[in-house]
Amino acid sequence: MSGRPSPSTSARSPWVPVVQPPAIAAAVASIKPMRFPVVLFDLDGTVIDSGAIILASMRHAAKEVLGEEPPDELLMAAVGGPGLEAQMHALAPDRVEELVTVYRAHNEPLHEQLVCCVGIDDLLLRLKDEGRRLGIVTAKRRATVALAFDVLPLAHLFETVVGGDETKEHKPAPEPLLLAAGRLGVEPEDCAYVGDSPFDIRAAKAAGMFAVAVTWGGIHDRPKLEAEEPDAIVGNAEELYAAL
């Protein structure tokens, strides 16, 4: 009989658990689950800090066309909703075309002053690096969106942009948000929609998306947003990231 040990009786190395270095373990522990693979954003007051130029142009149009100075609350009440024509219809139903023309002539050059809402440019990059798919759904016309992106080079971060001139119905109807989801080939329940107006929250709920209200837009105050009962309401970019 051979003096070699049989395989069943040969010595085996003891099992040693694999221990990750502290830096790797901390990184793994810090990975945040991706709640929403698709995040859609309103533009004005959510991504770009445009409330001041919108108000300035609304004041200018009302003064120039109507010779009036309506209160700011009235001028801004419909911003972010059905579109510029609807905003002007609320001021003077029989002067809509003239009001729109004067507004745009005043507003479009002001886009050169635009800046991002605080922290949003970094947040967009962070979401994109995580593999999120991003889009814009706005009441702005596509041509006006292009003016904004000429100043703020963010267009490459968004896979789709739905402008206010691309759908028959507008926020608070869900059609624009559903168009964005359809273009991306995703289900509404996989999407969060982020906006700063009551119209945004209503549209997100109607579309079956997670509705996030942001308070930094300076167009609609927090009580109005809270009254719409969004799924989340946030006051800065870090809070928004945590909600997504």
Alpha carbon dihedral 213, 43, 209, 185, in 10-degree steps, equals -160
Residue 89's H or E segment, with its range, is helix 84-91
Q: Which residue has the tokens 């810090």?
A: 30
Q: State the burial class of residue 232 (Cβ atoms within 10 Å of its Cβ: 0-12, 13-18, 19+).
A: middle
Does residue 42 have an active-site annotation? yes
Contact 73, 60 (CB under 8 A): no
Q: φ and ψ at 175, to 5 degrees?
A: -50, -45
Residue positions counted in the chain:
244
Contact 198, 224 (CB under 8 A): yes
Q: How far apart are CA 233 and CA 93, in angstroms?
A: 34
The catalytically annotated residue of 42, 44, 196, 200 is 42
Q: How far apart are CA 95 and CA 89, in angstroms?
A: 8
Q: How far apart are CA 43 and CA 28, in angstroms?
A: 34
Residues carrying an active site annotation: 42
